[in-house]
Chains A and B, each alone.
Chain A
């Protein structure tokens, strides 16, 4: 794979609208879950995607895999335009891109042993069958740290951490290059979460995988991601290397979000920005910058109310969608 240059994934102006006709005489409403999103994912990197509920991060992940049909825009995977593909070539390409869900219990068939669940994709994609498939499954179990004797168990007989390992084994069974991980550890206890995060890091290294890691937990994303995208109300707010996003956030939303995360150290309690209000209803997004009603930036002005800020490169490889990104407002740290 080293001979290939260029990004593995290019997402351009991706938009997903949901229309509801509502009641008989009601005006049809339109929700833009994903609104003009563009970014690239480099080969072998882990791109973190953070946002609160309703930010559109899950929809974006599904649109990229075309599990949800985007309304417009482009998704180019390894130079192939995914949205132009017909069903059959798409299915073939899907082998190279997989999804791991948040809730492994909800995504595993309760009546299927976990061994069968991992073997199924091998047969669907005609990678292996019979004893060959069984051997592969045993190897996969070993690789994700599951006792190979567990193949005959049912999902309810496993703990949450073990089920997530099954979900990971299933995704890896077809030897993908790209994995979308949608909140893969948020249903797990802290002690188990660390195990799964370490496993994901190992697998990435061993197989040269590329990850899109979707999560609401900023500390988890910081731990695993090389670059981070911050989403709010369907739009990208900031995109930069993880170290830059976390140490020198340039979008006031990112700054606020980071300051809200409780730090497990009583001597390092920081000044917090407490954002007022809730995330606006995506049905009736505010005009201008989607964040302006809650924005604590002192330079907030008329322009923020009327004009949607475009994502632009403020510093090399640091992209921000804010009219005032040039005047970074920083928080007083420490108390």
Chain B
């Protein structure tokens, strides 16, 4: 399999009053042609900043460090001229955000917002752009697109707004789609519609997809591979099935056990003590060590590296060196 996107040493920092926050810290991964890669983590783990950094959508006081590399089609997106980057962003690599309501412009019609993208990337204009917009709305399953194209965002439900955003993202037939919590703001029946739509479109259009989510159910239902983030770092990377079968990082396992499930009733939920630390105050050593049941002194003083443990599987944990320390 060929990678379509290769990310190396991606680091994004924010200057805050409390100090420098390393929101994304030395993140490296590849996205293969045609796959869906899930990036999982809780809020504050750095998954959204990772997505935004890939397309250099980071504003001051945020800064992407110079060692960061994002290779796409032989180019390093981090070093492209703003103009060359604009041609790729939205056209070849598109993004869908979490909050459809805030991502759409409230004073422009749905049609205008789709044709805008088509015109900006010189794909179509005028009548053809309008026709293409109708086709796109049809593709994403918006009922009555001829009429809806003249609607303003507030006239649409949340699910329909998200379909419009997906239509905009697909307008230039991107090769990579980055979806950041695309269904989090939606009801569960609508979420099922949107996920089905994304999967179907991915297959039909031959896209590769990065899906960012906190929901392990979505990960299990949609992705091929998973990258787990904690404290701005990747802590585990694995093919999806292997991750659920045998989560290697204590955080991954604890997260899986703390979710209430429809298919398994437990008397008491497992908890992870404490909360995700803020990005300006990551703990020393392993960033998960204050919440980890297995931690020993080495975890406190030395940061483990992301180490390969099997085919396509890597873990950032000292337990890989000393598995006998794992407590059951």
Contact = CB atoms under 8 A, between A and B. Distances in A.
A198 interface: yes
B103 interface: no
B188 A257 contact: yes
A312 interface: no
Secondary structure of the A contact surface, majority rule: helix
B159, B215, B218, B220: which has the most chain A beta carbons within 10 Å?
B220
A198 B258 CA distance: 11
A132 interface: no
B191 interface: yes
B244 interface: yes
B187 A274 contact: no
A306 interface: no
A194 B188 CA distance: 20
Contacts of A159: 275
A197 B272 CA distance: 13
Interface string A262-283: 1111111100101111110000
Contacts of A277: 143
Interface in A173-214: 189-195, 197-198, 201
Interface stretch (A35-43, A61-69, A218-226): A218-226
B262 A246 contact: yes
Contacts of A267: 241, 244
A278 B244 CA distance: 32
A264 B269 contact: no
A193 B270 CA distance: 10
B20 interface: no
B128 interface: no
Interface string B249-280: 00000111011111101101111110110000
A257 B190 CA distance: 10
Contact of A220 (B159, B254, B260, B270): B260
A239 to B, nearest CB: 19
Contacts of A189: 42-43, 214, 275-276
A274 B193 CA distance: 6
Contacts of A257: 188-189
Q: Interface extent on A, as a size class?
A: 35 or more
A191 B258 contact: yes
A274 B187 CA distance: 12
A85 interface: no
A278 B190 contact: yes
Contacts of B195: 262
Nearest to B260: A223
Contacts of B261: 219, 263-265
Contacts of A279: 157, 187
A59 interface: no
B315 interface: no
B258 A190 contact: yes
Contacts of A222: 260, 262, 265
Contacts of B240: 266
A272 B190 CA distance: 12
Given A223-B266, A278-B157, A264 B275 contact: no
B221 interface: yes
B268 A201 contact: yes
A223 B270 CA distance: 12
Contacts of B160: 278
22 contacts: A160-B275, A162-B275, A189-B43, A189-B275, A190-B255, A191-B42, A194-B259, A194-B269, A194-B272, A197-B260, A216-B188, A217-B260, A218-B262, A256-B189, A257-B188, A260-B189, A262-B217, A262-B218, A263-B261, A269-B220, A269-B221, A272-B196
Given A189-B42, A257-B189, A264-B216, 17 more contacts: A52-B187, A52-B189, A52-B190, A53-B187, A189-B276, A194-B258, A194-B259, A195-B273, A216-B187, A222-B265, A256-B189, A262-B192, A262-B220, A265-B220, A266-B221, A274-B192, A275-B192
